[in-house]
Chain A
Amino acid sequence: MGMTGLFFLSSGLFLGWSLGANDASNVFGTAVASRMVKFKTAALLCSIFLMLGALVDGVGAAHTLGALGAVNAIGGAFVTSFAAAFTVFLMTKYGLPVSVSQAVVGAIIGWNWFTDSVTDLSSVVKIASTWVACPVLGAIFGALIFALFHKISKHIHLSLLQRDALTRLAMIVTGAFGSYALGANNMANVVGVFIPVVPFTEFSFLGMDISPVHQLFFVGSVAVAVGVYTYSYKVMMTVGKGLLPLSPFASWAVVLSQSVVLFIFASEGLEYFLASRNLPTIPLVPVSSTQAVVGAVIGIGIYKGAAKNIDWTVFLRIMCGWVITPVITALVCFVSLYVMKNLFDQPVHTPKTYIISHGVLKEFQEHGIQANSLQSLVGKSYETGKAIVADVKKHLDLSNKQELLILKYAEVVKLKIDPTKINKLSDHLFSAEEKENLAALSGKEFNYRWELEDALILKNPSWKKQPETVLNKKINNEIAEQYKMIEGVFKWEPQD
């Protein structure tokens, strides 16, 4: 897998480069455009903190797969990464700030389309809603933060040069935090999916064990840094100057409001903190730094009464960029998958099988799907998600959510608990008791994920996911991560 792994990883690195060239520009864009921070300084800081974010906070078990994890064959992941990277590169060429994660979702939609999988409509709605909600939130917070600090600055008697130095320092600190958060949240999206194929091995450095995941994230961060250095200047200028020329103080307000919007509306940590203290939580909405930055610039412009100075044609161009990015990515992905599959004869999709059994019908019933009319489908096998959904729809009306439930419960995943493999499960994720629960199922075979889950719950109720509340989110994510790992270890193909 060595060289092939590296080849497949190359498109992840291209995506990393795109992230650096585009998303990273948002963080320091206004600071560089206002000439308060030199491009070289911004690029260096951004690279260092992005790398730190990726290595310290990004390598968490729950994050490592990222959105691309849905793509189940490495050839497919290669193409989807490539499609996303290519589109972001195109947008960067025209100096348009876009979001790499939105491009990735666009690519996954292209992959779903090509492989006849069912697309989770909520991800499409999520993207579309960020186009509106995020600039609005960015604008509100931009104006509020600017107004607040502008008032405060009136009462703080600082000299022009002190003020200048303070603004610069504030920009650098805020930008560094922004870069850190970007690295922590996005690196998994960029390279996470390549974890199984990279030919890295664990080694020790200064007494620290450097895992392959760390190495991969490091390589990814280097790609991002290269993107920042080589290609981010144009986007920085669009963000910081093209829309509305900003004063250094306003530029800092933009950087800060972007971080605040992301912290308040996208931080699960904050949500958990509030909920655990019985405080009302702020609803998490899908936000993107790109959209928040553009919104903040507009918000400050409007607050200052300089709305007429905003270059609305640039704003419209940016909006068009947002809308066409996922669309183009989906198209590029579809075409590239076709080429990859038919010209290079590479598998881009691991075939899935869906079979409706009586047990599956019971699960449907439990999850609110009227399964009585589906008796005639018992025993039928389907090769694509679209096929089973189409067949079920002949008997029932289904919402997108129900379609996804049908796929979830009818997907055949052969699992066999091999006691020799139990030690492969990381101690970090599994307690001794949990391993014992698995050992008690030694030799048993399961056809569906939920069958194993039910068997484990019978052994120990702690395997059961908790009702979906804010406080239970963390524990449920951990349980999901455990199941994912169990599947990776105990999946098997019966010999015919």
Chain B
Amino acid sequence: MNLSKGFSMFYGSRALENKIDEFLDRISEAGLIYRKAIHVFLEHGVTEDFVTHAEQIGHIESRADELRREIETGLYEQNLIPDLRADVLSLVEDLDAILNAYDSSGYRFTIEQPVFPATLHPEMLAIVESVTNSVEQITIAARTFFRDFNSCRDYIHKVRFYESEADRISTKIKRAVYSSDLPLANKMHICSFVEMIDNLADMAEDITDKLAIYVIKRDN
């Protein structure tokens, strides 16, 4: 091991850290655009604006995929965090799955164009808010795990809070839908979309559980 290798060890980890940061930025950004897209959809349906937002999420998803691959190869090539490498890979994959879910959810809206009664709009906006908040919190928690894992726990409980909030609103919407006069097909269609959105928060919560274990593993 010579000096230059020693420097490259630090330089390599710095570069990888930047990639991880960018990857998390992409997830956070996708959440904000998703929130905006649903607003647009509820107000105007599948407009050009909505399609642009859905496409933006698609682009973010492809860039995040690239970053994920670079992070994965970087971790192995530079033999970084050998004890946590598998865990970090699984964390990055799981976070990437959320992005995929945002992406496919946007396209599903453009294809299936569900019709939400105006009375449900406030609840729909509330569930999207909670879901994107839970995803936002998991990106913060993940960032903290990389930057300063001692304070990672501070964010984990917030994800859980937003997830249960999303569950509560999802149940409320489903009750309202099934007690309405809408045709059954319409009711089922709306509920499948509500479940799809709520599932994003569930994914965030699953990652939280794993993250809590990684913190314990590392803290020794």
Give me the interface of A with B, judged by CB distance under 8 Å: 34-36, 38, 41, 44-45, 154, 157-162, 164-165, 168-169, 172, 247-250, 304
Contacts and interface: CB of A to CB of B under 8 A. Distances in A.
Interface residues of B, number: 24
B150 A159 contact: no
Nearest to A42: B1
Given A34-B82, A35-B82, A250-B220, A160 B10 contact: no
A34 B79 CA distance: 11
Interface in B144-165: 145-150
Contacts of B1: 41, 44-45, 172
Contact of B145 (A157, A160, A304): A160
A98 to B, nearest CB: 28
B115 interface: no
A168 B81 CA distance: 9
Counting from the closest, the 4 A-B pairs by CB-CB distance are: A35-B82, A161-B13, A157-B148, A164-B81
Contact of B13 (A44, A162, A247, A250): A162
Contacts, number: 59
Contacts of A250: 220
A38 B83 contact: no
A157 B150 CA distance: 8
Of residues B16, B79, B80, B220, which shows the largest number of chain A Cβ atoms within 10 Å of its Cβ? B220
Nearest to B152: A160
B9 A168 contact: yes
Given A44-B1, A172-B1, A160 B82 contact: no
B35 to A, nearest CB: 29
Contacts of A41: 1
A34 B83 contact: yes
B218 A247 contact: yes
Nearest to B79: A38
B220 A165 contact: no
Q: Which of B13, B149, B150 has its CB near the most chain A CB atoms (within 10 A)?
A: B13
Contact of B150 (A36, A38, A154, A172): A154
A36 B6 CA distance: 13
B99 to A, nearest CB: 21
Given A45-B1, A165-B9, A169-B9, A248 B82 contact: yes
Give the residue among A158, A164, A247, A248 with the most B Cβ atoms within 10 A: A164
A169 B7 CA distance: 10
B80 A35 contact: no
Interface string B127-151: 0000000000000000001111110
B79 A159 contact: no
A169 B2 CA distance: 11
Contacts of B82: 34-36, 248
Given A157-B150, A164-B80, 18 more contacts: A34-B82, A34-B83, A45-B1, A157-B148, A158-B148, A160-B145, A160-B147, A161-B13, A162-B10, A162-B17, A164-B81, A165-B80, A169-B6, A169-B9, A247-B83, A247-B220, A249-B220, A304-B220
B220 A159 contact: no
B188 interface: no
A38 B82 CA distance: 11
Contacts of A160: 81, 84, 88, 145-147, 149, 218
A300 to B, nearest CB: 9
B17 A161 contact: yes
A161 B80 contact: yes
Interface in B35-86: 79-84
Secondary structure class of chain A's binding surface, majority of residues: helix
Contacts of B148: 157-159
Nearest to A245: B83
Contacts of A36: 82
Interface of B: 1, 6, 9-10, 13-14, 16-17, 79-84, 88, 145-150, 217-218, 220
B60 to A, nearest CB: 24
A253 to B, nearest CB: 11
Contacts of A44: 1
B79 A161 contact: no
19 contacts: A35-B79, A35-B82, A38-B79, A157-B150, A158-B148, A160-B84, A160-B145, A160-B146, A161-B80, A161-B81, A162-B17, A164-B13, A165-B9, A165-B13, A169-B6, A172-B1, A247-B83, A248-B83, A249-B220
A187 to B, nearest CB: 23
Contacts of A169: 6, 9
A249 B220 CA distance: 7
A248 B81 CA distance: 8
A249 B146 CA distance: 16
Most buried by A among B6, B16, B82, B146: B82
A41 B220 CA distance: 25
A169 B80 CA distance: 12
A169 B6 CA distance: 8
A161 B146 contact: yes
B154 to A, nearest CB: 13
A44 B81 CA distance: 21
Nearest to B17: A161
Nearest to B21: A159
A316 B43 CA distance: 73
Nearest to A146: B220
A162 B17 CA distance: 9
Nearest to B82: A35
A101 B114 CA distance: 80
A388 B213 CA distance: 71
Considering residues A34, A35, A162, A168, which has the most beta carbons from chain B within 10 angstroms of its beta carbon? A168
A41 B79 CA distance: 12
Contacts of B146: 159-161
A168 B149 CA distance: 18
Contact of A165 (B10, B83, B88): B10
A158 B80 CA distance: 15
B175 to A, nearest CB: 44
Contacts of B6: 169, 172
* Highest count of chain B CB atoms <10 Å: which of A34, A45, A165, A304: A165
Nearest to A153: B150
Nearest to A158: B148
B14 to A, nearest CB: 8
